[in-house]
Structure 1
């Protein structure tokens, strides 16, 4: 089964044995473009604020709205800006944790160090991606 230029079954099976640390670097490489990360930060912030508001206001539909909006922005970033497949297809729980970690590090001003450790130089949104990567 092919999805956006990748063999989905092979990708899912090969990633099942990774550690979260290895996945984290893979996740960051899948978010190399600043535009993709910005859309994730916005979407994740909307989702978190919606969950908190849903709890405070006793409005469970806000959770659904926040999650849909959050994933909408994130997936738009993958398909339009990054031109890749969201990582959550292979590892939904690790992707969720990695997204929260990436957003927290961005707010804390420490994401640059993690991006450098994953081998990511600032890539303009219009630049071509190098398809051959060593994972």
Structure 2
């Protein structure tokens, strides 16, 4: 029986446990970065059709990471909202950790 989570705070440790492989985490980071670039480009150029690519990019990179490298089932299948939140929290944590190392 799968565990049920009552809060994002209780879900996030599980989310991180599903992202142990460094390649999987890097693919998530790459997908999130490209999403931001496409979103900004869409807003600047008002090419709204580009929004179609956001879920393809986000899920594409993440699912390759899970199925090929992590060898597990993405948490988004059971916990879509918490998983989306987890993607961005993990992205922020990786980004801030990178810039802390640079200074």
Q: Mind listing any 5+ residue stretches in structure 1 that lack a counterpart?
A: 1-9, 111-135
Q: Mind listing any 5+ residue stretches in structure 2 that lack a counterpart?
A: 99-103
TM, length-normalised to structure 2: 0.87
Superposed displacement of residue 66, structure 1: 3.0
1:108 corresponds to 2:96: yes
- Aligned residue pair count: 98
- Structure whose residues are more often helix by fraction: 2
Alpha-carbon distance in 2 for matches of 1:34, 1:47: 20
Alpha-carbon distance in 2 for matches of 1:89, 1:70: 14
Aligned to 1:89: 77
Equivalent runs, 1:1-135 vs 2, <5 Å: 10-11=1-2, 14-15=3-4, 17-109=5-97
TM, length-normalised to structure 1: 0.67
Alpha-carbon distance in 2 for matches of 1:45, 1:73: 11
